Structure 1
Amino acid sequence: MRRSERLHAISETLRRAGARGISAERLAREFEVSVRTVKRDLDALESSGAAIWSRPGPGGGYGLTNSGSLPPVTLSPAQAVALMAAVSAAPDAPYADRAAAGVRKILDVLDPRTRGQADELADRIWVNARPSSSRVIKSALEEAMAEQRVIRIRYTSRDGATTTRDVEPVLFASTNGKWYLVGWCHLRDAMRWFAISRIERASVTQASCSGHMVDEVGEPPENARPVHGRGE
Structure 2
Amino acid sequence: MRRAERLHALSEMLRRTGARGVSAERLAREFEVSVRTVKRDLDALESSGAPVWSRPGPGGGYGLSAGASLPPVSLSPAQAVALMAAVSAAPEAPYADLATAGIRKIVDVLDPKTRERADELAARVWVNTAASSSRTIRSALEEAMSEQRVVRIRYTAGDGSTTVRDVEPVLFASTSGQWYLVGWCRMRDAIRWFMVSRIERATVTKAVCAGHTIDEVGEPPANAKPVHGGRV
Q: TM-score, normalised by structure 2?
A: 0.69
Q: Secondary structure at the match of 1:133?
A: coil
Structure 1 Cα separation of the partners of residues 221 and 97 of structure 2: 26
2:178 corresponding residue in structure 1 = 178
- Paired residues of 1:73 and 1:106 also in contact (CA < 8 A): no
How far the C-alpha of 1:108 sits from its partner, in A, is: 1.1
Structure 2 Cα separation of the partners of residues 178 and 189 of structure 1: 24
Q: What is the letter of the counterpart of residue 109 of structure 2?
A: V
1:141 corresponding residue in structure 2 = 141
Q: Secondary structure at the match of 2:160?
A: coil
Q: What is the letter of the counterpart of residue 216 of structure 2?
A: E
Structure 2 Cα separation of the partners of residues 141 and 95 of structure 1: 10
How far the C-alpha of 1:221 sits from its partner, in A, is: 3.0
Q: What is the letter of the counterpart of residue 178 of structure 1?
A: Q
The C-alpha deviation readout for 1:1-55, integer Å capped at 9, x for no partner, is xxxxxxxxxxxxxxxxxxxxxxxxxxxxxxxxxxxxxxxxxxxxxxxxxxxxxxx
1:221 corresponding residue in structure 2 = 221
The C-alpha deviation readout for 1:71-127, integer Å capped at 9, x for no partner, is 432211110000010111110000000000100111011111111111000010100
Q: Secondary structure at the match of 2:169?
A: strand
2:195 corresponding residue in structure 1 = 195
2:129 corresponding residue in structure 1 = 129
Q: What is the letter of the counterpart of residue 142 of structure 2?
A: E
Q: What is the letter of the counterpart of residue 83 of structure 1?
A: L
Q: What is the letter of the counterpart of residue 134 of structure 1?
A: S
Alignment of 1:198-209 (within 5 A): 198-209=198-209
Structure 1 residues 229 and 71, CA, compared in 2 at 3 Å: closer, same or farther?
A: farther
- Paired residues of 1:89 and 1:127 also in contact (CA < 8 A): yes
1:95 corresponding residue in structure 2 = 95
Q: CA RMSD for the aligned pairs?
A: 1.6
1:44 corresponding residue in structure 2 = none
- Paired residues of 1:73 and 1:109 also in contact (CA < 8 A): no
How far the C-alpha of 1:66 sits from its partner, in A, is: 7.9
Task: Give the gaps of 5 or more residues in structure 2.
Answer: 1-66
Structure 2 Cα separation of the partners of residues 149 and 66 of structure 1: 31
Q: TM-score, normalised by structure 1?
A: 0.69
- Paired residues of 1:72 and 1:110 also in contact (CA < 8 A): no
1:156 corresponding residue in structure 2 = 156
The C-alpha deviation readout for 1:152-204, integer Å capped at 9, x for no partner, is 00000001010000000000000000000000000110000000000000000
Q: Secondary structure at the match of 1:150?
A: strand
Structure 2 Cα separation of the partners of residues 227 and 72 of structure 1: 22
